[in-house]
Amino acid sequence: MTSKQIKEQAARYAKFVEWSDEDQCFIGRCPEIMAGGVHGSDETRVYAELCQAVEEMLELIHTDGHALPEPLAAKKFSGKFVLRLEPALHRRLAAKALAAGESLNSYCTKTLVKA
């Protein structure tokens, strides 16, 4: 795989850079490619280092003869998933949804969007 092909492939994977209050720095992750991440005090630099790390990981995966993981953007999602939780939490969420005049599904969706 050429350098250009690796860069093109790397662009397909989700990359996140977020501030960590616990670590007091920016943390950059690409969960589809690597368990760890990169960190630093400059968000732009962390993103650039993350992109480089993803490219290096893809090159290693390819060199080792392994198939590249499917990017999240290419996966099909149904929009449904089952969430298991304690009955007391289920009851509390149902009560909050009722108080808000919403269905439990709508209430939980709005709550997850805010998270």
Instruction: Write the CA distances from 81 to 6, 23, 54, integer angstroms.
Output: 33, 32, 29
Classify strands 37-40 and 16-20 as parallel, antiparallel or unpaired.
unpaired
Can you give the pTM of this predicted structure? Answer: 0.71
Domain boundaries, given as residue ranges, for the chain? 3-73, 77-114
Q: What is the pLDDT of residues 12-23, one digit of tens each?
A: 999 999 999 999
The encoded tokens of residue 84 equal 């298991």
Asked whether 30 and 15 are in contact (CB, 8 A), the reply is yes
Q: What is the pLDDT of residues 24-77, one digit of tens each?
A: 999 999 999 988 889 999 999 999 999 999 999 999 999 999 999 989 888 899
Q: In the β-sheet with 16-20, what is the strand arrangement from edge to edge?
A: 16-20, 25-29, 37-40
Asked whether 27 and 40 are in contact (CB, 8 A), the reply is no
Looking at the structure, give the CATH architecture of the domain made up of residues 3-73.
2-Layer Sandwich (3.30)
Which pLDDT belongs to residue 115?
83
How many C-beta atoms lie closer than 10 Å to residue 97's C-beta?
Answer: 18
Given a cut of 90, whether residue 110 has pLDDT beyond it is: yes
